[in-house]
Amino acid sequence: MSKPALSARGPAARGFAARPFATQRLAARRFAGRALSAMILPAALLLLWQIASTRGWTPRQILPPPKIVWASFLDLASSGELLTHIKASLLRVAISFLIGSGAGLVLGLGMGLSRRVEDLFGVAFHAVNQVPTLGWLPVMIVVVGLNDTLSYILIAQAVFVSVAINTQRGLRQTPERLVEVARVFRLTRAQLLRKVILPSAAPQIFTGLRFGLANGWVSLVVVELLISSEGLGYLMSWGRQAFQLDLVLVAILVVGVIGLAMDAGLARLEGLFSRWQTEKRFA
């Protein structure tokens, strides 16, 4: 059989040209401009803070000058103390996240793929969801006691809920029209799952993981403020008791930076897994 090629005519043929170099440079310059203007407000606030402390508008214990905060940051960082607390917090979150998201994925997959599993666990699951982490905290304090186990349970629970809900929702939302494609090509159940249902649910599952991590991070701060003897939350609550606002501020900033970094990391991972959604159209 000789098969003369259909010519891809018209706009189609202009296909995959790489983005011109000039546009890339323009984009880079615009990004630099954006970053610069983004720094103006924080810089202004910093200046205001500096003036306020040199003029003595606020007492030193209430708002120490930026210099002192910076000094305690350097001190905390160079002594390795800050790193110890960061490590403790990250480890706590990582372990809880693994437990919570693992369990959430299992239950979410089960409830998303099987009506029977959903019937069995759905009611109890939704009842448990009605109670926020803040409600579980005192219950668990009474039942488990004020210890590390408690922190893992609470953080993992916060992750678990969001992962399970979103996994189930994602699986349930697979468009029927794409499932029909699988029927036409007579895919087996496993192939259907691998080629159609899971990729279709992947964005929502990732959303669940991202929300889960964000929720877990918030719960970590709550838990560490209350019970732990190390970690960023502990650093804050210790700083408050010692009336050292510089420590509190350093801890707040680090909590923010890590929160942002984790979210950006997962977003990037999500992008890798769903290139089909994020890439620009060529034709």
Nearer to other proteins, 46 or 74 (CB): 46
Nearer to other proteins, 78 or 251 (CB): 251
Residue 209: CB minimum distance to other proteins, A? 17
Nearer to other proteins, 44 or 78 (CB): 44
Beta carbons within 10 angstroms of residue 266's beta carbon: 18
Nearer to other proteins, 78 or 116 (CB): 116
Residue 25: CB minimum distance to other proteins, A? 20
Residue 165: CB minimum distance to other proteins, A? 15
Residue 101: CB minimum distance to other proteins, A? 18
Nearer to other proteins, 22 or 124 (CB): 124
Residue 254: CB minimum distance to other proteins, A? 10
Residue 239: CB minimum distance to other proteins, A? 7
Nearer to other proteins, 78 or 218 (CB): 218
Which distant-in-sequence residues (6+ apart) come within 8 Å of 68 by Cβ?
246
